[in-house]
Amino acid sequence: MHITSSAFEHNERIPAKYTCNGQNINPPLRIEDIPPGTQSMAIIVDDPDAPGKTFLHWLIWDIEPTNEIGENTAPGTQGRTDFGKPAYGGPCPPSGTHRYFFRVYALGTTLGLPEGSSRADLEQAMKGHVLAEAEIIGLYAQS
């Protein structure tokens, strides 16, 4: 499986439009080579460079298998991020350049978790059901 974005290249800068300095909307994602048997997909976006802990920016699951996640869409059930709500929260680093990992998972089942579930809930539910995963990393620093 492979993930790309028309908004930024792997290990390149995420446009401000997709951050707290812009429209704060999710960037478009393209997913290729989804394995046969995929029943749903999940996405986790986090920042391991945040002070103190890895900061969670987006959790979404029970996405119908698709090659496109459109800009500013939520095609599944969203979990609670470190912003305290079930929605995409764009990059907003306090200082320096941070890395933002966009990970997509192909799952052999649907999860049925309620909206607002935590990352731990999602990771537990995904155990034993991940058929493939892929990631793209975007960079961002406030101007």
Residue-wise pLDDT tens digits, 94-122: 999 999 999 999 999 999 999 999 999 99
**Count of the separate structural domains present in the chain:** 1
User: Please, what's the largest Cα pairwise distance for the chain?
Assistant: 44
Provide the pLDDT confidence category of residue 143 given band limits of 50, 70 and 90: confident
pLDDT at 93 over 80: yes
Provide the pLDDT confidence category of residue 68 given band limits of 50, 70 and 90: very high
**Residue from 91, 87, 85, 67 nearest 76 by CA:** 87
Work out the number of other CB atoms within 10 angstroms of the CB of residue 87. 17
How far apart, in Å, are the Cα atoms of 135 and each of 56, 108, 113, 131?
A: 15, 18, 23, 14
Helical spans, DSSP H, in the chain:
119-126
Report yes or no on whether pTM surpasses 0.75. Answer: yes
pLDDT of residue 33: 98
Under 8 Å between Cβ of 126 and 107: yes
30-51 confidence digits (pLDDT tens)? 999 999 999 999 999 999 999 9
| Residue range of the domain that includes 23 | 2-140
Encoded tokens for 106: 């192909």
- CATH number for the domain spanning 22: value is 3.90.280.10
